[in-house]
Amino acid sequence: MKRQRTLAWLKTRLGRTSLPQERPRQSLRTIATTWALVQVLMLGSPALAQREEEGMSYSEFLENVEQGKVEKVDLDPARNIARVTLENQDENTPPQEVRLFEENPELIELLRTHNVEIESNPTPDNSFAVGILGQLLLVLILVGGLMAIVRRSTQSGNNALNFGKSRARFHMEAKTGIAFEDVAGIEEAKEELQEVVTFLKQPERFTAIGAKIPRGVLLIGPPGTGKTLLAKAISGEAGVPFFSISGSEFVEMFVGVGASRVRDLFRKAKENAPCLVFIDEIDAVGRQRGTGIGGGNDEREQTLNQLLTEMDGFEGNSGVIAIAATNRPDVLDTALLRPGRFDRQVTVSLPTYNGRLGILQVHARNKKLAPEVSLERIARRTPGFSGADLANLLNEAAILTARRRKSAIEDWEIEDAIDRISIGLKLMPLLDSKKKRIIAYHEIGHALLMTLLKNSDPLNKVTIVPRSGGVGGFAQQIFDEDMVDSGMYSRSWLIDRMIITLGGRAAETVVFGDAEVTIGASNDLKVVATLAREMVTLYGMSDLGPVALESRNNEVFLGRDLMPSSEYSEEMATQVDRQVRSIAQRCYEEACRILQENRPLMDRLVDLLLDKEEIDGEEFRRIVAQETELPERQLVATPN
């Protein structure tokens, strides 16, 4: 009965159509939450049910009032309960709580009639304050979100306004930490650029005799030769304001942005004159105009036009020197290269022996080298290496030294680093098998021809230890320094080069026969075909006579020549093909002949290579010299 009366009271309270005026802001969510909480407390909490059963019911309360047993009633309108104190009740016993109905004015009359003391102590109702705080919190969240949106839109507006600004890095005082003494191996370029530093430091020395400061300097050279490093050195030496930017940072998908950035860059440069402006990879913005499949890039061309105008236009540009770097000078627009814009073109080529030695000395300052390590020998072992390659070489050697737990870099680490950079990472050796023997004969064929031929460069080492990239082994030469630097290769050297290249295929044929020839010589055949065709069509070293039938650079460039036209007739093309095949066939037959004549020596060298897996060039030549006469050139020791 008590539970049913309680549920009836809840239904009466929750089913009302109008809410009390003292709670106008109570929401449906509060009502639903209250109902769920009461359900849990009523049905899911046995302790609370037991507590309610121990209290006084409303009917019992009325009976006690009518019988005069109630001494005092403390009403709590907020909670709609009455705390009843009975007569002769112990002072330590708390009053009993009786839940009242929502509207019961007859109760007050009944209590007054029986002279019951009535007090009203309402529990503080914080629902109104909580509602106000909740609404204020909602308002604060809305205002904060609105402010964040406004701030973001303001930043976007600022970015839109700054979209055409130059993104060049500006250094009021050069802090590159690099001077000319830190740049080695390119002395000619340093001498040319030293004049630029003097122009900036002491312009009166040149203007006094009528000389004009150059507008721009273009650094041209292969990747890794030190073009960007030279620009940093110029900045460090001159000590003037320095702007640095990449050519790709001018070009955007929005029309006019690149030109706007060029104008802004040179405006800032003029305000800080005298100063330097360094544009790295200028070919990204300075390519030839009006070319390309489907037309040129209008945005890039507008950027280039603005750059041309800023360097040499109606307005003066005194005190601002532009330095640009590229490894593709052939793609640059001719208007960009004329005097008055880039007045000087400095070629930064691959370093010679003295240059490589100087570069190694610079990068070896912070490396701990063993006393037996010779930088001169390393410089002779690395023809064709750029400055970046040499720096990477010493760094790789230092890494290998640390991995092997050594205290200083030794010759073994240097050799392994050279092989790792030029050939690949060393892998696990092959097990004894037919494949290993075929690779050994292949590499010995190359190495033996390198040693026996008169016009060949000396052998450095031969190995059958596999490398990453599918290299099963290799025979390495030490190329002539003067020939590599000058590029003056003789016909006899080219012929011997092709014979050596075909030595691996020839060794497989001599030992295993035509049926067992492998595809290991596929790359060798491509090299021979290229050399033979160049001898016929470029160098005039064939029976066709001293004629150049092709140009060296005939590839498609920017859509200029979608279909390259042939420079000779079909009949001449047939003769060229015959000459190329004839040269390659003669070289192959010569390689087979030499190896067949030295078959016992080749077998002995193969057995030694299978046992040691690597043979040094000196040891190889000593073994060959015991059974045959080496050419006079090969009797000279390997340079060190």
Residue ranges in 239-289 assigned as alpha helix (H): 257-271
Question: Nearest CA to 262 among 371, 166, 161?
Answer: 166
Active-site residue 508, yes or no?
A: no
CB atoms within 10 A of CB 313: 11
515 sits in which H/E element: none
Q: Which two tokens stand for residue 50?
A: 């037991």
Between CA 640 and CA 447, with CA 488 as vertex, the angle to 5 degrees is 50
Question: Nearest CA to 61 among 95, 88, 31?
Answer: 95
Q: Which two tokens stand for residue 390?
A: 């040499």
Distances (CA, A) of 127 to 28, 123, 130, 165: 13, 12, 5, 57
φ, ψ dihedrals at 475, nearest 5°: -120, 120
Q: Which of 237, 310, 443, 508 is catalytic?
A: 443
Q: Which two tokens stand for residue 455?
A: 């016009």
* The pairing of beta strand 320-326 with beta strand 216-220: parallel
Q: Which two tokens stand for residue 582?
A: 């004839």
* The pairing of beta strand 216-220 with beta strand 344-347: parallel
Residue ranges in 272-410 assigned as alpha helix (H): 298-311, 334-337, 353-363, 375-381, 387-403
Question: Nearest CA to 171 among 240, 229, 263, 237?
Answer: 240
- Taking the C-alpha atoms of residue 383 and residue 198, their distance in angstroms, rounded to an integer, is 33
Amino acid at residue number 207:
T
What contacts 24+ positions apart, CB below 8 Å, involve 202-206?
203/274, 203/319
Catalytic residue ranges: 443
